[in-house]
């Protein structure tokens, strides 16, 4: 078998190690930006609480909080695991075998590419106005993708339109209502299948959320002081939307939000 100069392998390992350390430095810098954004969020939260008390601002804060939690999870669990795998691969490369060394280097390159891709994707989340910039439908699609990544649920997302024209305030309220519905489903329903359908028709946007969970009695939930249905109804009223909650014990839940694209006051 033809022997290859050890210098070629050393150069490849050195280059891989250098790129790894550069990526580590980038992750540290990204983390510092995240911490600064979180501190800024805390300051803004206190300022908003002192000056305002309305549903729209609460929804904005809740979206930011969910985003920061997601970023924190990705930094701790996802990025950390990939970086550890890269380090392990570089440490266990067999210099005596060109073939094995190349195999490990290829695996490391793939991990580095994934890390770069994940960093790019997550960096977009630092923009607190992301849902306004990307649009409600893309925001809902991303939320369902996050749930799908958990590997615990069968997830389905369908939409008969790619874009929908909504003012920023209504977009934020609808997105936060959707987040609340999905989060409550994950926490309380015991469901294994989740679906979200988006339909645009006759100047109305219809969002339908379904699950195959244990269901609940709406009247009992309100009597127990459950804030979920109440919050949803309050926010639906705020944007002139019709809200329907259909659920019974052991029959799953269906929640429909039918929102006009324009407020009545705009007409």
pLDDT value for 61? 61
Q: Domain end: 92, 126, 160, which one?
A: 126
Could you tell me the pTM of the whole model? Answer: 0.58
Bridge partners of 157, per DSSP, are 196
Q: 36: closest CA among 48, 28, 24, 47?
A: 28
Task: Verify that 168 and 244 share a domain, yes or no.
Answer: yes
pLDDT tens-place string over residues 181-224: 988 888 888 899 999 999 998 889 999 999 999 888 777 766 66
Task: Verify that 141 and 93 share a domain, yes or no.
Answer: no
Domain hosting 192: range is 131-266
Q: Is the pLDDT of residue 172 over 50?
A: yes
Question: Per the domain annotation, does 1 fall within a domain?
Answer: no
Task: Verify that 32 and 73 share a domain, yes or no.
Answer: yes
Phi then psi for residue 229, to 5 deg, are -60, -40
Structural domains counted in the chain: 2
Distance in angstroms (rounded) separating the CA atoms of residues 23 and 40: 25
Cβ atoms 125, 71 nearer than 8 A: yes
Bridge partners of 155, per DSSP, are 194
Q: Domain end: 78, 98, 126, which one?
A: 126
Distance in angstroms (rounded) separating the CA atoms of residues 7 and 258: 67
pLDDT tens-place string over residues 18-48: 878 888 888 888 888 888 888 887 777 676 5
Q: Supply the CATH number for residue 258's domain.
A: 3.30.565.10
Task: Verify that 157 and 190 share a domain, yes or no.
Answer: yes
Bridge partners of 211, per DSSP, are 194, 253
Max Cα-Cα span within the chain: 81
Higher-confidence residue of 202 and 96: namely 202
CA distances 117 to 23, 112, 122, Å, are 12, 9, 9
Task: Verify that 111 and 215 share a domain, yes or no.
Answer: no
Phi then psi for residue 5, to 5 deg, are -55, 135
Q: 220: closest CA among 187, 242, 245?
A: 245
Q: Domain end: 126, 143, 166, which one?
A: 126
């Amino acid at each position: 078998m033809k022997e290859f100069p050890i210098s070629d392998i050393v150069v490849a390992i050195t280059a891989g190690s250098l790129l790894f350390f550069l990526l580590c430095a980038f992750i540290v810098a990204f983390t510092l930006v995240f911490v600064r954004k979180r501190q800024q969020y805390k300051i803004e939260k206190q300022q908003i609480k002192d000056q305002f008390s309305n549903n729209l601002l609460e929804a904005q804060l809740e979206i930011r909080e969910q985003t920061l939690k997601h970023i924190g999870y990705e930094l701790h669990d996802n990025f950390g695991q990939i970086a550890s795998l890269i380090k392990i691969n570089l440490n266990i490369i067999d210099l005596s075998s060109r073939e094995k060394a190349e195999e490990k280097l290829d695996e490391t390159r793939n991990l580095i590419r994934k890390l770069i891709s994940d960093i790019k994707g997550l960096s977009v989340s630092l923009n607190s106005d992301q849902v306004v910039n990307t649009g409600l439908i893309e925001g809902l699609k991303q939320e369902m993708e996050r749930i799908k990544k958990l590997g615990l649920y069968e997830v389905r997302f369908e939409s008969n339109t790619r874009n929908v024209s909504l003012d920023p305030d209504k977009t934020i309220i609808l997105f936060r209502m959707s987040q609340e519905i999905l989060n409550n489903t994950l926490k309380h329903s015991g469901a294994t299948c989740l679906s979200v359908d988006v339909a645009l028709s006759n100047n109305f946007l219809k969002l339908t959320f379904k699950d195959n969970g244990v269901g609940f009695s709406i009247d009992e939930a309100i009597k127990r002081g459950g804030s979920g249905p109440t919050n949803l109804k309050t926010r639906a009223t705020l944007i002139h939307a019709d809200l329907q909650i259909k659920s019974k014990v052991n029959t799953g839940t269906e929640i429909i939000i039918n929102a006009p694209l324009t407020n009545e006051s705009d007409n």
